[in-house]
Amino acid sequence: MPGKKAGSKSRRILGIDPGLASSGWGVVEFSDGRLRHIAHGCVNTDKEKSRSERLSFIYTSILEIAKTHKPSEAAMEKLYFGRNVSSAMLVAEARGVLLLALNMLELDLKEFTPNEIKKAVVGVSRAEKNQIQEMVRFILGLKEIPKPDHAADALGAAICAAHETLLK
């Protein structure tokens, strides 16, 4: 790329926070030790549609997002089983189609637990949601906290992937 130092490698990372109703996504670029916000948003599905239609929409949407923003790798939050197993199963289905899409795109995927993402973004693994959102805003130099919160979580996963290589 013009203006790049010889040997510097730019990485574009697609972060994903999976969910059936809403899958957050965020794209950051990591170059020369600096992070830059590219874009973020959510893939929201219509609850009136069948589950298979909703999953198909998530799949085609993430393919389109990747086509638009051309990531070189991806990061996604690992599935966390809390008290509500039935909602975790729906998230698992969304994760499945997202994993398929990322595989079809031949993107290297890094997966992180919620605590790993919190630690990478805030510095502590027990951070509150508002702390994570504020640090995502600060790290990426945004004027406002990214909305909705699923998009902020996805950006957090992308930040975690970028930080992981700094720690090696």
- Show which residues are catalytic: 17, 77, 150
Name the pairing type of β-strands 34-44 and 22-31: antiparallel
Secondary structure of the chain as H, E, C letters: CCCCCCCCCCEEEEEEECCCCEEEEEEEEEECCEEEEEEEEEEECCCCCCHHHHHHHHHHHHHHHHHHHCCCEEEEECCCCCCCHHHHHHHHHHHHHHHHHHHHCCCEEEEECHHHHHHHHCCCCCCCHHHHHHHHHHHCCCCCCCCCHHHHHHHHHHHHHHHHHHCC
